[in-house]
Amino acid sequence: MKAGAKNGRKAGWRKAYEAAQKRDDGIETSTISGIPVEPLYTEEDLAGISEELPGEYPYKRGIHASGYRGRLWTMRQFSGFATAAETNRRYHYLLRNGQTGLSVAFDMPTLMGQDSDAPTSRGEVGHCGVAIDSLADMETLFEGIPLGQISTSMTINSPAAILLAMYLAVAEKQGVPFADVSGTLQNDILKEYIAQKEYIFPPEPSMRLVVDSIEYCAREVPRWNSVSISGYHIREAGSTAVQELAFTLADGFAYVDACIERGLDVDSFTPRLSFFFDAHIDFFEEIAKFRAARRIWARHLRERYGARDPRSLMLRFHAQTAGVSLTAQQPEVNVARTALEALAAVLGGTNSLHTNAMDEVLALPTDRSARIALRTQQVIAFETGVANTVDPLGGSYFVESLTRTMEEQAEAYFKRIDELGGVIPAIERGFFQKEIADSAFQYQKELEQKRRIVVGVNDFQVDDEEDLEILRIDRSQEEGQVKRIADVRRTRDERRWRDSLTKLEKAARGRDNLMPYILDSVRAYATEGEIMDTLKSVFGVYVEEAVI
């Protein structure tokens, strides 16, 4: 069709659209992040977007030529609660039922690098995950599980190096060579300062620990994914989709910079960096976000960092449906939300997926709700047919246009971050924290004004809510864990223990890679808290800039 004729048709539609009656409910028509959305997209919106193919640079349409026809995404559900022994029983159950990978959730004291008997651990031991204090607990957690044959994902950040060392020490005891050990460590400290706030040391020594573990894994544990660069927590803290995209990739670039500064070759470690994104409720915006992420990463790695290995250019990611979109009101409706979010992640080409259980806003999931969550993924994979076509929304006027918009807005953020001197100076000035807090407050105001609707919360409420059966954690195990740690302290080789920590402290003051020292301390049954305290004595602790 000639351009003139096309313009004429679009003008005709425009007239009809203007004349038509429209809803006047006051509900926003922009995306949930505030990106304006047109009522119609046409071929005009594809101007300047050339055709790309999956499995080819810059990987917008996916990293595999075969999409999900080659291999479905990994259905990886995150779990962990109470004591190592109880979680171990759950793992054996999952493995007997065909699961090939494990995903460990730690409790708050473990995440914050303190032992179960620390005064501020009271009331939190084994609550939101499993309590791990020393190698003894890690041995129990993986008892009877062959670490050479399964892959394990560990969600931990500030003390990540210590938990990795504990895992490796268990492998060692099982006689499994490090080269055969595989798994993923979250180990993404930058987003802790930005969003989740589980930081301990100041940014610089924290970055040193991250680079130490990347370097060590690249050399000794080649099948280990050393960092899972996470936007999930940034989004859950209230950011927009663009902020999640931009801040997460900026963090990724900051790790690459730090490793290059250490003297590592870019292709020696980037294939082992992976990503973790939120799959939120605004359907098309999320799909566009995942596509844009792959494209930005590939472009920057090739053009800015000169990476040559295609695996360095491919952004692999895990997605989790948005915990923050779940409601305590009419919680069954969360199954529908989660299904739609999971569908967006799949249409966006996720490599692995966790679907939230409907009761996660109330407590840890029950067996029943956890099963429904997994079944949701199976329905998408096996019933809907969406996995049969690679990037089925590729070429959609709207999705392509939105993908480009998100990419441009992310680039604008990279520029601002550069102007502030990079990610760490921007953190120290509270830049990210302020951006996120502003977005969160903005969204909350839109909710209060009913410019956004959350079903069951600010509209469509019911008076009589039926209570959902929730999982209760037995609190008495806190005492058991405190006793266990006392036993470890009493029975370990005192001299070996003290020597290992002294050497660690000395190394921390110097420039050596700390992983071997941490591994030795772990082998000597130093507790997580003791190792962290040793490092704190050298590195100090971080106090955040007050940003409200």
Partner 1 sequence: MALRIVMAKLGLDGHDRGVKIVARALRDAGFEVIYTGLRQTPEMVVDAALQEDAQVIGLSIHSGAHMTLIPRVMDVLKEKQAEDLMVFAGGIVPDEDIEKLKKLGVAEVFTPGTPLQEIVDYLRAKFPGETAAV
Partner 2 sequence: MRALARAISLVERRDPSTRELFETLGEPRPETEILGLTGAPGTGKSTLADALVAWHRAHGESVAVIACDPNSPFTGGAIFGDRIRMQRHALDPDVFIRSMGARGHLGGLALASREAVRLLSAYGFDRVILETVGVGQSELEVAGVADTTLLVLAPGLGDGVQMIKAGIMEIADVFVVNKADQPGYERTVLEIRSMLNMGPKLPWKPPIVATVASRGEGIDELMEAVARHRAFLVSSGRMEARRLERLKDEAADLVGEWSRKAARRLLEDDDDLAGRLEADKAPYGAAESILKEEGARLVPGQQ
Residues that bind partner 1 (CB under 8 A): 108-109, 111-112, 114, 120-124, 127-128, 192, 196-198, 236-238, 324, 327-329, 361-363, 437, 440-441, 444, 447-448, 454, 457-458, 467, 470, 473, 544, 546, 548
User: Considering CB distances under 5 to 8 angstroms, the limit depending on partner class, which of partner 2, partner 1, none binds residue 184?
Assistant: none
Shortest Å, Cβ 208 to partner 1: 22
Amino acid code (one letter) for 293: A
* Shortest Cβ 152–partner 1 spacing (Å): 23
Neighbours of 13 (CB within 10 A): 13
Smallest separation, CB 105 to partner 1 (Å):
13
Q: Which residue lies nearer to partner 1 by CB, 33 or 225?
A: 33
Q: From CA 385, how far away is CA 364, in angstroms rounded?
A: 31
Report, in Å, the least distance between residue 543 CB and partner 2.
Answer: 6
Amino acid at 239: S
Q: How many Cβ atoms sit within 10 Å of the Cβ of residue 139?
A: 16
Strands (DSSP E) contained in 2-93 are 74-75
Chain centre to alpha carbon of residue 132: 21
Closest CA to 83 of 124, 36, 130, 120: 130
Tell me whether residue 515 or residue 531 sits nearer to partner 1 (CB atom): 531
Which of partner 1, partner 2, none does residue 238 bind (CB under 5 to 8 Å by kind)? partner 1
Q: Which is nearer to partner 2, 159 or 205 (CB)?
A: 205
Residue 361 binding target from partner 2, partner 1, none, CB below 5 to 8 Å by type: partner 1
Closest to partner 1 by CB, 194 or 515? 194
Minimum CB separation from partner 1 for residue 124, in Å? 5
Residues in CB range of 405: below 8 A, 6 or more apart: 35, 288
> Which C-beta is closer to partner 2: that of 8 or that of 540?
540
* Closest distance to partner 2 from the beta carbon of 194 (Å): 17
Nearer Cβ to partner 1 (124/400): 124
Contacted by 329, from partner 1, partner 2, none: CB < 5 to 8 Å by type: partner 1
Q: Is 162:185 a contact under the CB 8 Å cutoff?
A: no
What residue 202 binds from partner 2, partner 1, none (CB within 5 to 8 A, per partner kind)? partner 2
Residue with smaller CB distance to partner 1, 235 or 316: 235
Tokens representing 158 are 């500030």
We find the least distance from the C-beta atom of residue 431 to partner 2, in angstroms, to be: 10
CB of 508 to partner 2, least distance (A): 16
- Smallest gap from Cβ 27 to partner 1, in A, equals 17
Shortest gap between Cβ of 206 and partner 2 (angstroms)? 14
From CA 298, how far away is CA 469, in angstroms rounded? 46
Handedness of CA 128, 134, 140, 144 (dihedral sign): positive
Among residues 63 and 532, whose Cβ is nearest to partner 2? 532
For residue 150, the partner it binds in partner 1, partner 2, none, with Cβ less than 5 to 8 A by kind, is none
DSSP string for residues in 322-356: -GGG--SSSTTHHHHHHHHHHHHHHHTT-SEEEPP
Strand partners, 278: 320
The 10 Å CB-count burial string (b at 16+, else e) for 253-281 is bbbbebbbeeebebbbbbbbbbbbbbbbb
Q: What is the 3-state secondary structure (H, E, C) of 240-254?
A: CHHHHHHHHHHHHHH
Between 420 and 447, whose beta carbon lies closer to partner 1? 447
Shorter beta-carbon distance to partner 2: residue 4 or 119: 119
Q: Contact, 187 vs 225, CB < 8 A?
A: no
Which residue reads 């490092």 in tokens?
A: 535
Closest approach of Cβ 14 to partner 1, in Å? 39
User: Is the CB of 429 or the CB of 492 nearer to partner 2?
Assistant: 429
Q: Which two tokens stand for residue 361?
A: 């806003």
Going by C-beta distance under 8 Å and a sequence separation of 6 or more, which residues neighbour residue 140?
83, 84, 85, 88
Nearest to 52 by CA among 252, 343, 245, 298: 298
Positions that interact with partner 2 (CB under 8 A): 202, 421, 429, 540, 543-544, 546-548
Report how far residue 318's alpha carbon sits from residue 74's, in angstroms, rounded to the nearest whole number: 9
